[in-house]
Structures are given as C-alpha cells and as structure tokens.
Structure 1
Amino acid sequence: MRTELKPDICVIGAGSGGLSVAAAAAAFGVDVVLIEKGKMGGDCLNTGCVPSKALLSAAKAARSVRSAAAFGVNAKLEGIDFPKANDHVHSVIAAIEPHDSVERFEGLGVTVIKSHGHFVSPDCVVTDKHEIRARRFVVATGSTATVPPISGLDTVPYLTNENIFELREAPAHLIIIGGGPIGLEMAQAHRRLGSRVTVIEGQKALGKDDPELAAIVLDQLRAEGVDLKEHSSVEAVEQRGDEIVVKWMSTDEGAGETVGTHILVAAGRSPNVEGVGLEAAGINFDRRGIKVGSDLRTSNRKVYAVGDVTGGLQFTHVAGYHAGLVIRSILFRLPAKEDRSIIPWVTYTSPELGHVGLSEKEAREVHGDKVRVLAADYSGNDRAQAEGLTKGRLKLVVGPKGRVLGADIVGAQAGEIINLLSLAVAKKLTVKDLAGFVSPYPTLGELVRRASISYYADLPGKPWLRKMLAVLRAFG
C-alpha cells in the first residue's frame, strides 16, 4: 500500500530548478513534495558547475606560480599534488551540500522523498511508497552527458562529467572528445595540473561564441600545450594494452590516431526524459527534451518543466530563471514568459569567454546597417595592465537609438563583467546609460564605459556641433 499525498505542488528532481521551485513555494507556506532519486543538488553541485570550477581554481593557482617571475616573484613549482587538488574539489561540494540538503528543505516545510518518481496518469506520480496527486507538477529532471555512437567506445573505461572528478591521480594523457565549454575547461584544468591533453572536435571549437573572441581562448590553450584538433571526427576507439587509442579523420590532416591513458566524453548533454512516465502523463517530448510553451507549461496543463529537461539553453542559471517564472505562474496566477534573448553564458577558461543577447550577425539580420559594434581592448585598461591581464576584448552590439542588443567579452573576469551587460540587455539600456555611470578606478569594469563612450567618438568632428560651440562662446 502506498501513502497518498495531496500537496499543492509536486516537484520531480532536486537540482537547481527543482530546489528553487520547492524553496520559493515553501517560503509562501505552500505544501510541496520534492522527489529525488539521486543526490540532492543534482548535476550542478555534484558533477557539474561546482566541481569543475573548483578544479579550475586549483589549476589557476598552479598557473599563478608558473607565471610569478613576470612580477618579480621568484617562486618555484615543485610539483602538483593532484590528490590534494581533488580533495579541494570535494571540500567545496561538502561546503555547499548543507544548503541543498534534505534536512534544510524539510526544515523549510518541504516533504522530501528520496526515491524514483514517475507519472502513472496525467494527475498522479508514484514512488515506491507514495502516491502523489498534486494541483500542479514540475518536472526538473535535468540532463546527462551524451555518449555518441562511436565504434568501440563501450569497450573502454571512458569518463564523463559524472566520474572525472573521482580521479585521484592526474591522467598521464587525457583525450577529450568535444571542444565545447566543458571539454575546453577540463582540458585547460588538467593541462595546468600536469596532464598531457588532446582535444578532438568535429566542428569549430567554441562554435557558438564570437569567432574573433573565441580564437583568443583557443590560442591560449594551444600556447599552454593543449593539442586541439578541430574539424576532426572520431571514427573509433580501442584498448591497446594499458592505453586507449582514438582514431580520427581530420579535414586538414586526413586519418590519424591519438594514444592516451584516459578518455573524457564531453560531446553535449541529453535531457532526462526516460523513466519519468511522460507518456502516461500525456506530455509531449522527443529526444531533445520536453516540449513546453513560453510559459514553461507542457501539453498537460497541470505540468510544468524547467531547466535542462526542456532542451533549451542548459545552464544552472537558466533553471533558476525558469523556477522564478513557474512560481510566478503557479502561485500568483501572473503571466510568465521565457525570454531566451536575455540569457548570458560564460566559459570559465583563462581567459574567460562571455556572451549575452544578440550576436553581431543576428543583430544585422534584424536591424541591417543600423547596427554598430563598439569595442574596448583589455590592453587599454589600466587595471589589466597592472595585473598583466592584457589579453582580452569587449564588444557591445548596439542597435537603433543606441540600444544595447548584445555583448561578447573575452578576458579576465569576463563572467563578472557580463553581469552588468546582462542587465543592460534585459532592461533595454542604451550606450548613453552605460557611458553615464561612474565606474571606480582602476577596475576591469571600466571596459564597459570605455566601449560605450566610443559611440560618441565622432562627435568632436561634427561641423554642426563645432558651430554651436562657437555660438555659445560668443556669449562669453
């Protein structure tokens, strides 16, 4: 016999999106059931954003020692203690875990069920011991690493983001399939921590970002010793003794092979739609995810879906954004509409690479020659010069009447600077707004103001303006 529960909201999945919905609803005194079969915190806390950034921080520390001589500091890197770097990764997870724990959410008033849950009808979800009939349901089951159908891959012990952070020894030679953000972040981290690294990418690495700015990141990785093979398809994988052989076909080099000790698959992510009982619930979906409207409702009007499982932009902050929209709709009956044009993203390599809004190409497709691109180089920023961080560039994509339509930035702290630019895009600010605020000196954030001011660079040469100034001078 299962215990019947009748909450106001039932959430399936305790990752970023699900936790945010549950916490917000509980704060308003709403009865919530939260179902999670795995670890609380989901992919982000346990196998994604948190451990990857912790490992990148360890790698950055190693890089700082290696480059200390440029600042007159005679430091020597005597070795990398990879197990201790791995300890740092898990200490960061442990520090954050209580915030996402069962105990905290039960303390908030949420009923947490640690079990697999699935729909058995349009208005009922069951677990091993419970039957939940809620007024509204939220599916937040996230995504998992995509494993491409490569011949022989299933015969070798390959890594994904789900187990790479369990390595206690640095790979002698890590081969990474995929040159997107995850692949390149892990490439740089492991290279800086002593591994030999080869990245194999079928298309252009960082292909979703501004080509000029992405090239700065790729050049840096190559300069640090990462072997980056673009436009190279992986044909087969095989075990050869204690080593793994990856055979590839390159448009530039033809057929070749790379021999390594470990292989990481970083070829994208797939939404977790299996085993949720979506068919029984009358929810439309395909391999790309659950189909939702701009209000994040599924084909079953009692059910919403948030985060990676919807098949859109797969970022933790998107799941949190979705959660806010769903709470607005379920609790307050207010209209909620997803706007993907305001979503930023950042690749946390060194230098970092950030984007928000329209690209230059997208903006020109809409506004034609009314689009201007304003730029500011890190080399012209005093703080960047002081810290030896001159490799980078900021671009603002500006449309009619000076409105900021998008932005791209590569360089130190790009992820922090993109915050202001995300606000500018979301609130439809203009370059006048960005040129008019006072930025403390010296900061990298001054790049935003410098680029904005360049919008007015041709004003001093305008004949009408010079005549007006002459008239004003005539009055004394």
Structure 2
Amino acid sequence: MDQERFDVIVIGAGQAGPALAARCGRAGMRVALIERHLLGGTCVNTGCYPTKTLVASARAVHLARRGDEFGFETGPVRVDMRRVKARMDGIVGAVRADVETWVRGMKGVEWITGHACFTAPRTVRVGERELKADRIFIDVGARAARPPLEGIDTVSTLDNASVLQLQEVPRHLLIVGGSYIGLEFAQLMRRFGAEVSVVERSPRLLPREDTDVAEEVQAILEREGVCFHLASECVAFAPGEATVRMRARCEPQDFWLEGSHVLLAMGRTPNTGDLGLESAGIRADERGYIEVDDQCRTSAEGVWAVGECNGRGAFTHTAWNDHEIVAANVLHGETRSVRDRIPCYALFTDPPLGRAGMSEQDVRATGRSALVGKRPMERVGRARESGETQGFMKVLVDAQTRQILGASLLGLAGDEVVHILLDAIASGITAAALARTMHIHPTVAELVPTLLQDLHPLQERA
C-alpha cells in the first residue's frame, strides 16, 4: 500500500479538530481531516445544541403554565414531542450544514470520511488509504458510559444521544446519575410532562459543587416534581410488562423502581479503544483517556490530543481552548498551557448555575484565609420583576490580597453574569476595584458590586 504524505492529519471533527485543520491549512500546510461520522462532534450533534434547544422548549412550556402569575391565561398546555424534536432537528441540521460548508471551503484541507486507525508512529489507515504526517492531532471525543450492570442488556436504555430521538414524552423516566447531564434532562422532561425519578449513588447531588449549591439545585427541581433517591446505587435491571424495572440499593435494603424509560447518565467513555494507539506509541490511562502534558502533547513525538479524549476537560469551551493552546504553540512558537486557564462551566437547569474559579470546598482545602459574600436572588430587583427569585450568588475572595478566587451563581442569568467574575479573576482585578464599579440598573449583574461590598470571613467548619 502506497503511503500518502500530508503535513498534518487531524483525526476527529469536533470543536478543536476543524479549527486546527483550518489554521494549518491557512499556514500553507497540506491537511487531512478525518471524521467517521458527523461533523461538529458532541456539541453540535448530541450535546450543546440539541439539549439547549430542548431546555428552551421546556422553559417556554413552563412559563406558559405560569401564565396566571404574569396576568394572562393560556388554557391547558399540551406538549407535542414530535414538534419539539422537529424544532431541535432543524436547528442542529442547520448548524451541522454550516460546519460542513466551513470545512469544504478550507484552504489546503481534504475532508476524508472513514475510521482512522494508527498502524505505526505518525501513520494512519483510513479504509484502503494509508496516510503519514509529521504532525497529528487527535480529537475523537467521548460517549456515554454503559456500565456492566446486572440485566442491563435485557432492557432498552437511553443515553444522552438516543434520548434525543424520542418521539413521545416518557410516562415515567428513570435517570441513573444525578450530575449535570442527568439533572438537565430531569428538569426538561418533567416540564414536558413526564414523571421523573433520579437515582444517585452519592449522598447528595453534584459532588463537585458546594453543599449549599447542590441542596438548592435539588430543592428547585423537587419543587417542580422531580423525585430523588440519594445514597442509592443502581444494581440491576429487569424487564416488566411494557415497563423497565430497576433495583436500587439504599442500605440496609434494596427497593424497586418501575418506569417507562431509563436514561443512563453515569459518566463518559473516550472514543479511543479502536484507534490503535499502541501502534503509535501513544499512552492512555486505565479509562482510555489519552495521556497528555500541559500543552496537549501525547507520549508520541509529533502527536497531540485535544478535546474530551485527553481527560483535561469535558466541555466544548475546554476543547476550543485546547485548539487555541496547540495552535499558538505549534504554529506561532508561543508557550501556552492548560494550566493557564481558569476552571469555568455551567449547569443549564432553569435557573442555571454559573461557576468560575474555586469552589468553597476548594478554598477550604488550601487552608488559606478567605472571605465570602452571599446574597439570595430574591434580593435582585431584576429577578423579582421577572418572577425568577430562586437561587443565590456566592463569591470567594482571598482575605489578604483581595483577589477574587471563585464564584457560584445559581439563579437568573447566572451562566452569563458569572463571566464578570471570571474575567476579574483572569485580569487580576481585586474585589475592591470591582465593588466600586458602577453597573446598569435594573440588571442581574448589578448585584455583583453589592455582593463584593458585603464580605465576611469564611468560617471554619464546626
């Protein structure tokens, strides 16, 4: 088999891959962009775009049911899941088409459809073709984990991708996993009219978050009718008559739940098992994530791994930042690192949670002296006017330097307002300087200076 020479091979067309291909192509390199399925990766096809479209539909349904609070009547609200899905499919299809147009127009880039597998260092086979390049970027993403639970193959289960294909609202959706994906689907399906039960093995939701945040998220969803079974581990499945039965363990005894559908939201598995990494000398950890250094370089010379498959971030924005880091270092001789970025993400329930920097438990773990400011959303005029007073704002500040350490904003526009604090952390603006900044009234953001004007010592736990 004759080898075809490229300057760059990009495996996977998620968020980072096409952007790297485009930049290398503009730099005059010959690039092969390989994708075996759909352009756009998880974000476009089974993640951000489709799920946030569903979240928007669910919020519209929820607001229509609250018409009496706002002074109007709508009558009974009926959800047509086929039309909801059609709206989602239309938006996703348009975005995917935009990505395809972008890729087809890239200078110096050949888009190859097929499965890529390493056969030797910096050598990849795709179908009947064998490609070789001095630089290879891997951007293959991850998929929903499917643990080997007893009876799991005797029932039909959903994951974050297949749940998007539902044509009808589930009668009773059982969700295994009380983290970010599970909670977003719990709320939106409940708003569509499903009965929803969430089984989570930890004693509380969202173990990464502070206890007050997790408890408030749970309270918000419980007020909408979502049922939680915490400190309960899913141990078995069994088919019922037109139902799915799930046995859960909450010491000292087991109990059974019965639903019409089961959604598995129990983590992610990287799409690396069939890449032939060993043939290229690329190391992966025990879970399959490709091991990289702080510049996304793998153990193999000339090979980088970006996006979710490298285990350094599970978000679209971290994948995009990976691409920026690699491009800066490889193409422009800079020295950027994943250690430079400040952790940030959101939980897109309604209201959303916006997170930036350190959590309270992170700060406590450092042993440093810190200050905290916390205000309920009912103190925010814009939230009261909008009828959206659930949640709170919390900010953490170094007691000595007055540098902002982190924030948790759970409430109306929390996923947007948190960027004020994220930017302050990144630029080194002190809490005192931000507290003196005049913000526009009436907005949610105007509470940020007020929040920073009322700091008090973070007390040690009893």
Cα drift, residue 59 of structure 1: 0.5
1:240 corresponding residue in structure 2: 240
Whether contact under 8 Å (2:176, 2:200) holds in the other structure is yes
User: How far apart are the structure 1 equivalents of 2:26 and 2:387?
Assistant: 46
Say yes or no: does 1:142 pair with 2:137: no
1:37 paired with 2:36, answer: yes
Q: Given that residues 354 and 416 in structure 2 are in contact (C-alpha distance below 8 angstroms), is that contact kept between their aligned partners in structure 1?
A: no
Whether 1:95 and 2:116 are equivalent positions in the alignment is no
2:401 alignment partner, SS class: helix
Tell me by how many angstroms 1:362 deviates.
1.9
Equivalences for residues 281-360 of structure 1 within 5 A = 281-288=280-287, 289-339=289-339, 342-360=342-360
For the 8 Å contact 1:18–1:138, the answer to whether it is kept is yes
How many angstroms apart in 1 are the aligned matches of 2:158 and 2:218? 23
Equivalent residue for 2:213? 213
Q: Distance in 2 between matches of 1:38 and 1:114?
A: 7
Determine if contact 2:200/2:231 at 8 Å carries over to the other structure: yes
Equivalent position of 1:155 in the other structure: 154
Q: Secondary structure at the match of 2:327?
A: helix
What is the match of residue 364 of structure 1?
364
Task: Please list the CA deviations of residues 7-31 of structure 1 after superposition, one character each: whole Å capped at 9, or x if unmatched.
Answer: 3221100011212222333344433
Deviation at 1:280, TM superposition (A): 0.6
TM-score, length-normalised on structure 2?
A: 0.94
With over 3 angstroms needed to count, the CA separation of the structure-2 counterparts of 1:169 and 1:311, relative to structure 1, is same
1:112 Cα deviation after fit: 0.6
For the residue of structure 1 that corresponds to 2:295, the secondary structure is coil
* Partner amino acid, structure 2, of 1:245: R
Q: Which residue of 2 aligns with 1:451?
A: 451
* Contact residue 174 and residue 262 of structure 2 kept, 8 A: yes
Query: Which residue does the alignment assign to 1:261?
Result: 260
Code of the aligned partner of 2:393: L
Aligned residues: 453
Matched residue SS, 2:51: helix
Deviations 1:317-339 (A, max 9, x none): 11001010010111112212112
Written as runs of structure 1 = structure 2, the 5 A alignment for 1:437-448 is 437-448=437-448
Contact kept in structure 2, 1:244 and 1:260, CA below 8 Å? yes
Q: Distance in 1 between matches of 2:249 and 2:86?
A: 38
User: Cα 1:90–1:449, aligned 2, differ >3 Å: closer, same or farther?
Assistant: same
Q: Is the 8 A contact 1:184 1:349 kept in 2?
A: yes
Residue 433 to residue 9, structure 1, CA distance change in 2 (3 Å) = farther
- Asked whether the 8 Å contact 2:210–2:361 carries over to 1, the reply is no
Query: What is the alpha-carbon distance in structure 1 between the residues aligned to residue 118 and residue 165 of structure 2?
Result: 33
**Separation (CA, whole Å) in 1 of partners of 2:307 and 2:361:** 27
Residue aligning to 1:473? none
Give the C-alpha shift of residue 437 in structure 1: 2.7
- The 5-angstrom pairing of residues 13-52 of structure 1 reads 13-52=12-51
Question: Secondary structure at 1:134's aligned position in 2?
Answer: strand
Letter in 1 for 2:316: T
Q: Counterparts of 1:341 and 1:358 in 2: how far apart (Å)?
A: 12
- Distance in structure 2 (CA, Å) of the matches to 1:144 and 1:441: 43
Task: Tell whether 2:165 aligns with 1:175.
Answer: no
- Where do 1:347-426 residues align within 5 Å? 347-368=347-368, 370-399=369-398, 400-426=400-426
Q: Distance in 1 between matches of 2:183 and 2:366?
A: 32
Structure 1 counterpart SS, 2:313: coil
Residues 323-368 of structure 1: per-residue CA shift (max 9 Å, x gap) = 1001011111221211276021111001211211111222233352
Report the Cα distance in structure 2 between the residues aligned to 1:130 and 1:96, rounded to whole angstroms. Answer: 30
Counterparts in 2 of 1:77 and 1:422: CA distance versus 1, 3 Å = farther
Output the amino acid matched with 2:9: C
Distance 2:445 2:30 in 1: 43
User: Where does structure 1 lack aligned partners over 5 or more consecutive residues?
Assistant: 458-476
Gaps of at least 5 residues in structure 2 are 458-462
SS at match of 1:40: coil
CA distance in 2 between counterparts of 1:406 and 1:196 reads 36
Contact 2:234/2:248 (8 A) holds in 1 = yes
Structure-1-length-normalised TM-score: 0.92
The alignment partner of 1:135 has SS state of: strand
**Cα 1:364/1:243, change in 2 over 3 Å:** closer
Partner of 1:415, secondary structure, is helix
State how far apart, in whole Å, the 2-side matches of 1:76 and 1:211 are.
39
Aligned partner letter, 2:323 = A
Tell me the CA shift for residue 277 of structure 1: 1.3
Local SS of the residue matching 2:147? coil
